[in-house]
Structure 1
Amino acid sequence: MRYSAPGVYIEEIDSGPRPISAVGTETAGFIGTAPRADAAINEAIAINNWSEFLRRYAGDGLASTDLANAVQGFFLNGGSRCYIANIPEGAPIAGKGLDALNLVDEIAMIAAPGRTDFSSHEALVSAAASLKDRVAILDGPAQVDDIARLTQVGSVESEPASGGDEGGEGTGGGRRSRAKAGGLRPPMDDKGYGAFYFPWLRARDALDPAKIVSVPPSGHMAGIFARTDAERGVHKAPANLPIRGALGLTQMLSQAEQGLLNDAGVNCIRFFTREGIRIWGARTIAPAESNWRYLNVRRLFAMIEESIAISTRWVVFEPNDRPLWKAIERDVGAFLTLLWRQGALAGAKPEQAFFVRCNEETNPPEVIDAGQVVVLVGIAPVKPAEFVIFRIGQSPTGTMVEGN
């Protein structure tokens, strides 16, 4: 602006912080075969309620599928928006349908309901790990004769349903799992981008409520993920919650069996006499010694990373010097402080919950000459109280223990 005449000039400048907004984590992506097998093949279509799914992918006289039962379970358990990729019956998961879901940045969790084979699990986990903004929800087999096989990495083949399931009622064109020799656990993922659930649920058929059928748990789990995120936040482990619509389980598990499976990263679905059917696990398929063994930690970091990446695009091509570094520290610090106040990060003070460094130490001359600006961020996530231990002992009669 040129100044020629004496006077007072007022200019507006943008000098305030640029808030970082948390990305959504409640949208699911499902891939499978719909009752209407020819509807929008290999396309990712947004669905906002169960009635919309029926209108697009079902019809009078059509039999239900694992995909239909899972989507109904998603909306029944608190889900509000998902994407559907309808693929031909028997088609591999790794294909155009999964590619279509990969292009949707909004998706935060993906599942292939009823697909229990090793190759399907591997395709889902690989997609989630490569994109780093979503997790894969994996269905275990409906039931097993030997629980120990679920702790061993192996493979499971899927075959078309023949009109009846373990309980005698068919899912009308879904898929059944038949175990091969060896383990049944999905492929190990060191970064924890997959969560494995066992067993299946018994529920009313989505298109024929008079039937009670076996339903893969991934759709119901995705709905509970979404409900937990909306009510408590992504940092809350989606476990110890009732499963709406579940009438029973295809296999009952004991406390001892759960102990064996929990160490292997198998999230069990249990029936308790007083509480009913609940999710009783919140682990990923990462090794037990990994920092990514808890599902809420993995999802929290995915949300934080994507939120920062999207909201700091303004930094690109800015002058790479101290004013920029301080602005980055300010904006990222404000975002993490908000998460700490919401209970997502551990620590009594923000300094104990996180740190953000962007200075001469992280950006020496050689880094600046390479056109890079490096920001170092450390985060202390909250982890679930997985094992609650009460140590109870006897004390002499009349003795009272006082605390400060």
Structure 2
Amino acid sequence: AVAAGPRAALGGFQVAAREGSGEGLTVEVADVAGEGGGEDGFTLVVRRGEHAEETFEVSAKRSQRAYVVAVVREKSRLIVVEEPAGSAAVPRPGNQTVAVPPPTGAGSLLPATLNPAQYVGDSADRTGFAGLEAVDEVTMLAVPDLMSAYEQGAIDAEGVKAVQLAMIAHCELMGNRVALIDPLPELNPQEVKDWRQTGAGYDSKYAALYYPWIKVADPSTGRTRFVPPSGAMAGVWARNDDSRGVHKAPANEVVRGAVELAVNLTKNENDLLNPIGVNCIRAFPGRGIRVWGARTLSSDPAWRYLNVRRLFNYLEESILIGTQWVVFEPNDDALWARIRRTISAFLVNEWRKGALFGLTPDEAFYVKCDRETNPAEGIDAGQVVCEVGIAPVKPAEFVIFRLAQFSGGTSLVNE
């Protein structure tokens, strides 16, 4: 069952809270703004305290597309509205505010409030995402349930920002993973632009932001619902890594399982958001719903592209693991030569896969491990230093065609 709480009367209808919707919900019936509602139309506002969580323009007539029972069943994540069994027609409820009884038992999934520290956790106790400091294999960090807590009023926008800043700090500390950041729900393109630049203002090469939310099937209810995009984007990254390689930008990829987008973005809106690091998800006729951005949240042009950051993470981790045999070996010219051969062989393979830019290996990378990088004082300190430089491939974000009309070999018009 989708509703866990007792029913409350809403005129001739009944209203109940969904599982996990939390406490403190009220439902307000108000007149439709303007003249388009008709005698059966009304506005249904779901509030938690003074905050309006959901608003629907609905009708009490079954024959209308905006029939209140159908609209709420399809779109609301907090309540259900039911009609009396066997009733031929239910009149429009009068303007009123009704308190919705909270769900009972296991339906109340979240506490009344959540502290950002509960998400961050403690590395020593292995709690929260700080506990992931002990797991070297992690390459991406997402906290989609943070938005569930925000929707249910368990955490406010400042708390969301604190958790997301902690996610970014965790990824920067570890240096081998990237945070997937979700925007707040129900933002239009201009609002998400303002939130990105002034509300959040994150600047990190270890974080990526995706917009808008996506609608997916919810197996627990048999319905569809809008969810934050980070979970689906983590799946896109993993699929792209497996099929193409980490060097290929995880963009122009189908978002599997996505039924609809919360906002259908235009090209102009995409052009507004992409330069500020908001990776858009767009619906294309005949091509499905696709990821249409591959940027980090960094203001540094060198780390603008997500695949460059993740390629460096992959190469660094692979080289560190592949050279563990070096520890406690005699620190001399023979060791340095073996290190150069080992790393060069690995990078040649990556170059052949298309991960590095250049017509030859010499153009794609260099490996320097000799007396210059390892002076006597470094050897005395027990250190061996190897310098590696690579030229990563970058995505073709903009494909430009120059068209011209020709007549008798003479160019007439350039476009």
Q: Normalization by structure 1: what TM-score?
A: 0.67
Q: 2-side partners of 1:185 and 1:243: how far apart?
A: 26
CA, structure 1 residues 327+89, in 2 after alignment: closer, same or farther (shift >3 Å)?
A: farther
Q: 2-side partners of 1:316 and 1:64: how far apart?
A: 53
Give 2:168's aligned amino acid: V
Q: SS of 1:279's equivalent?
A: strand
Q: SS of 2:406's equivalent?
A: coil
Give 2:390's aligned amino acid: I
Equivalent residue in structure 2 for 1:94, among 87, 102, 120: 120
Equivalent residue in structure 1 for 2:235, among 223, 240, 261: 223
Residue 141, structure 1, aligned to residue 184, structure 2? yes
Q: 2-side partners of 1:108 and 1:87: how far apart?
A: 30
1:4-403 to 2 correspondences below 5 Å: 90-92=114-116, 93-95=119-121, 96-115=127-146, 117-145=160-188, 147=190, 149-150=192-193, 153=196, 183-189=198-204, 192-209=205-222, 211-287=223-299, 289-397=300-408
Q: Contact 2:188/2:263 (CA < 8 Å) preserved in 1? A: no
Q: Cα deviation per residue 1:12-33 (whole Å; 9 max; x = unaligned)?
A: xxxxxxxxxxxxxxxxxxxxxx
Q: 1-side partners of 2:239 and 2:213: how far apart?
A: 20
Identity of paired residues, percent? 48
Q: Cα deviation per residue 1:40-69 (whole Å; 9 max; x = unaligned)?
A: xxxxxxxxxxxxxxxxxxxxx97699xxxx
Q: 2-side partners of 1:215 and 1:148: how far apart?
A: 18
Give 1:187's aligned amino acid: Y
CA, structure 1 residues 273+97, in 2 after alignment: closer, same or farther (shift >3 Å)?
A: same
Q: Contact 2:356/2:393 (CA < 8 Å) preserved in 1? A: yes
The alpha carbon displacement at 1:296 in A equals 0.6
Q: Contact 1:148/1:260 (CA < 8 Å) preserved in 2? A: no
The alpha carbon displacement at 1:255 in A equals 1.4
Q: SS of 1:395's equivalent?
A: strand
Q: Contact 1:109/1:136 (CA < 8 Å) preserved in 2? A: yes
Q: Normalization by structure 2: what TM-score?
A: 0.65
Higher relative contact order (Cα pairs below 8 Å, separated by 6+ residues) = 1
Q: 2-side partners of 1:63 and 1:259: how far apart?
A: 42
Structure 1: runs of 5+ lacking an equivalent:
1-33, 36-60, 66-85, 155-182
Q: 2-side partners of 1:224 and 1:100: how far apart?
A: 25
Q: Cα deviation per residue 1:292-325 (whole Å; 9 max; x = unaligned)?
A: 1111111110011111112212212221110010
Q: Contact 1:270/1:280 (CA < 8 Å) preserved in 2? A: yes
Q: Cα deviation per residue 1:245-296 (whole Å; 9 max; x = unaligned)?
A: 1111111222112112111101011112232211100000001x43111111
Q: 2-side partners of 1:201 and 1:215: how far apart?
A: 6
Q: Contact 1:142/1:198 (CA < 8 Å) preserved in 2? A: no
CA, structure 1 residues 213+152, in 2 after alignment: closer, same or farther (shift >3 Å)?
A: closer
The alpha carbon displacement at 1:149 in A equals 4.9
Larger Cα Rg: Structure 1 or Structure 2?
A: 2
Q: SS of 1:118's equivalent?
A: helix
The alpha carbon displacement at 1:101 in A equals 2.3
Q: Cα deviation per residue 1:301-355 (whole Å; 9 max; x = unaligned)?
A: 0011111112212212221110010010000001101100111101111001000
Q: 2-side partners of 1:284 and 1:381: how far apart?
A: 15
Q: Contact 1:153/1:188 (CA < 8 Å) preserved in 2? A: no
The alpha carbon displacement at 1:244 in A equals 1.0
Q: How many residues align?
A: 291
After TM superposition, which residue ranges in structure 1, 4 or more long, deviate above 4 angstroms? 61-65, 86-89, 151-154, 397-400
The alpha carbon displacement at 1:88 in A equals 10
Q: 2-side partners of 1:64 and 1:398: how far apart?
A: 75
Q: Cα deviation per residue 1:222-254 (whole Å; 9 max; x = unaligned)?
A: 111111111010101110111111111111222
Give 2:166's aligned amino acid: A
Question: What residue number does 1:56 align with?
Answer: none
Give 1:232's aligned amino acid: R
Give 1:94's aligned amino acid: V
Alpha-carbon RMSD: 2.7
Give 1:105's aligned amino acid: D
Greater strand percent: which structure? 2
Q: SS of 2:289's equivalent?
A: strand
Q: 2-side partners of 1:64 and 1:222: how far apart?
A: 28
Give 2:267's aligned amino acid: Q
Q: SS of 2:303's equivalent?
A: coil
CA, structure 1 residues 146+352, in 2 after alignment: closer, same or farther (shift >3 Å)?
A: closer
Q: 2-side partners of 1:252 and 1:205: how far apart?
A: 21
Give 1:278's aligned amino acid: R
Q: 1-side partners of 2:364 and 2:170: how far apart?
A: 30
Q: 2-side partners of 1:349 and 1:103: how far apart?
A: 39
Structure 2: runs of 5+ lacking an equivalent:
1-18, 21-104, 122-126, 148-159
CA, structure 1 residues 273+62, in 2 after alignment: closer, same or farther (shift >3 Å)?
A: farther
